[in-house]
Amino acid sequence: MKKAKQLAELIPNVKTFKKFGRVVRVVGLMIESKGPESSIGDVCHIHLNTASKTDSIIMAEVVGFREEIVILMPFTNIRDISSGCLVETLGKPLEVKVGMNLIGKVLDSMGNPIDKSQLPKGLTSVLTEQDPPNALTRPPINEKLAVGVKAIDGMLTVGNGQRVGIFAGSGVGKSTLLGMIARNTTADLNVIALIGERGREVREFIDRDLGLEGMSRSIVVAATSDQPALMRIKGAFTATAIAEYFRDKGMNVMLMMDSVTRVAMAQREIGLAVGEPPATRGYTPSVFSILPKLLERTGTNKYGAITAFYTVLVDGDDMNEPIADAVRGILDGHIVLDRTLANKGQYPAINVLKSVSRLMNHIADPDHVKAAERLRELYYTYDKSEDLINIGAYKRGTSKEIDQAIEYEPLITNFLKQGFKDNIAIDDSITELVALGNGGRTS
């Protein structure tokens, strides 16, 4: 009787008819159709006119309107679409299926396994686009999260639920650093989004950087550079939705996205295609509105926490380019990878003088913070005087602070270095840092 009552309550919400339109024009990346009645973000099925095609349906999303014309962006290629193709709206945004059985899987932006296998049973459907948690429901971050990298755990301590950007030019070690964090972190689960990567790099990252150990507690979402712009954007939103699902189950999730820059570039493609003006260095206004909507979804809520690392590809190592500047202003800290350090063989090539964790002072012990500040001070002193030291213009004894910086520079550099396969406990990193900091004081 109870079940019959529940079914009766669902009857008024059952849609007894479908809404259709027809393709009237294809311009570049965009498909224009007359109808159907729909909303921004709704998913549509475009039915191909020919039955000889293996896939008779192409999925697209409503991205704009022009009078009575609906503007659609396809999830796949559009070479099989012809004038008059039937367009059917599903009346809802994209959903993906999520659950514990996805752990160890590599998915595409639609939430389907890339190896073409069947999705496991027992999964739950979730919307890929959600609102960020209410600001007043976010618990404060008050505990550290170990990532197993000395330079971060010691000098740039990350909190459980903090959002951090990794800024670097190409080829400086962003993916390698993400792989180290994924293998070494104490988080319950990794969700890794590879957005706009080269096709070969997806398998290389999984096999070489992540490894069996990291993959055994990770879910990977991949959208390669050859895929349409909408697929690249959806990859970021799908990975975030998966992380949110597990956070709401009370888990501490590590979300890693490589890279936010390629998400912004994909949004720029869509913005230009629908007629937005290129406002800031070619980026459209929608790029700067989508970034906070995506990045603010991570962090803490009343159930659990998502600690997020977002990589940002900076053109020509310019840390003040528009995307890097916008992302840095949204996140809770930034880690800068320096090409000069990489060229000297220091890996990970983290420049601690240009990097900051905005929460370290609140979550780390006073002795830890004091030692980190002292080492940063000595490192800065050496960096400022390095040219004079190298050309022999500095005379020992002129400055006690510079003399001590010269003495401790190799010790600090050795502390910041770490082998790719090394996993160092956070307590060991802090103990080593405090001992080094206490020894590096002027008399």
Quote the percentage of the chain above a pLDDT of 90. Answer: 60
* Boundary residue ending a domain (58, 93, 128): 93
CA-CA-CA-CA dihedral for 373, 375, 378, 379, to nearest 10: -110
CA-closest candidate to residue 141, choices 376, 263, 301, 367:
301
Give the tokens for residue 37. 């009645």
What are 277-312's pLDDT values in tens digits? 888 888 999 999 999 999 999 999 999 999 999 999
Q: Mean pLDDT, to the nearest integer, of 414-426? A: 91
Question: Global pTM?
Answer: 0.90
Q: CATH code at 429? A: 1.20.1270.330
Angle between helices 285-295 and 322-330 (to 10 degrees): 30
Please say if the pLDDT value at position 328 is more than 60: yes
Residue 443: the pLDDT is 40
Last residue of a domain, one of 327, 346, 364: 364
Q: Average model confidence (pLDDT) for the chain?
A: 89
Report, as an integer, the average pLDDT of 308-323. Answer: 85
Of 31, 60, 93, the residue that ends a domain is: 93
* 177 pLDDT above the threshold of 60: yes
How many separate domains does the chain show? 3
353 within domain boundaries: yes
Write out the two tokens for 18. 């479908």
Distance CA 39, CA 65 (A): 9
> Which pLDDT score is estimated for 4?
66
Average pLDDT over residues 399-411: 90
Range of the domain at 426: 367-438
Same domain assignment for residues 178 and 58: no
- pLDDT of 442 > 50? The answer is no
Quick one: 314 and 178 in the same domain? yes
pLDDT digits (tens, 9 = 90+) for 26-56: 888 889 999 888 899 899 999 987 654 556 8
332 and 393 share a domain?
no
With 50 as the cut, is the pLDDT of residue 395 above it? Answer: yes
Confidence of residue 440 (pLDDT cuts 50, 70, 90): low
**Residue-wise pLDDT tens digits, 189-247:** 999 999 998 888 888 888 888 888 889 999 999 999 989 899 999 999 999 999 999 99
132-153 as b/e: b if 16+ CB within 10 A: bbeeeebeebeebbbbbbbbbb
Identify whether residues 343 and 376 lie together within a single domain: no
Residue 423 resides in a domain: yes
Helix ranges restricted to H, 83-172: 150
Output 198-204 pairs: Cβ under 8 A, ≥24 positions apart: 198/224, 198/225, 199/224, 199/225, 199/226, 201/175, 202/106
227 and 158 part of one domain: yes
> Between the CA of residue 14 and those of 37, 39, 102, what are the distances in Å?
17, 19, 30
Does residue 251 share a domain with residue 372?
no
Q: Coil, strand or helix: which one is 361?
A: helix
Q: Are 126 and 37 in a shared domain?
A: no
The β-bridge relationship of strands 95-98 and 124-127 is antiparallel
Q: What is the mean pLDDT of residues 1-12?
A: 62
Are residues 389 and 300 located together in one domain of the fold?
Answer: no
Say which CATH number the domain at 250 has.
3.40.50.12240
Q: Tell me the pLDDT tens digit for each residue of 98-135.
A: 999 999 999 999 999 998 889 988 899 999 999 999 99
Judge whether 3 lies within some domain. Answer: no
213-216 contacts at long range (C-beta below 8 A, 24 or more positions apart): 213/183, 214/179, 214/182, 214/183, 214/190, 215/104, 216/103, 216/104
In a domain, 41, yes or no: yes
Q: Same domain, yes or no, for 141 and 287?
A: yes
Alpha-helix residue ranges (DSSP H) falling in 92-228: 150, 174-184, 199-204, 211-215
- 224 and 283, same domain (yes or no): yes
Q: Which two tokens stand for residue 52?
A: 């000889």
Domain holding 60: CATH number?
Answer: 2.40.10.170
Q: What is the pLDDT of residue 143?
A: 93
Residue 108 domain-assigned (yes or no)? yes
Let me know whether 43 and 155 are in one domain. Answer: no
Mean pLDDT of the region 79-101 = 90
Residue percentage of the chain with pLDDT more than 70: 93
297 and 328 in a single domain? The answer is: yes
Among 161, 229, 152, CA closest to 195: 229
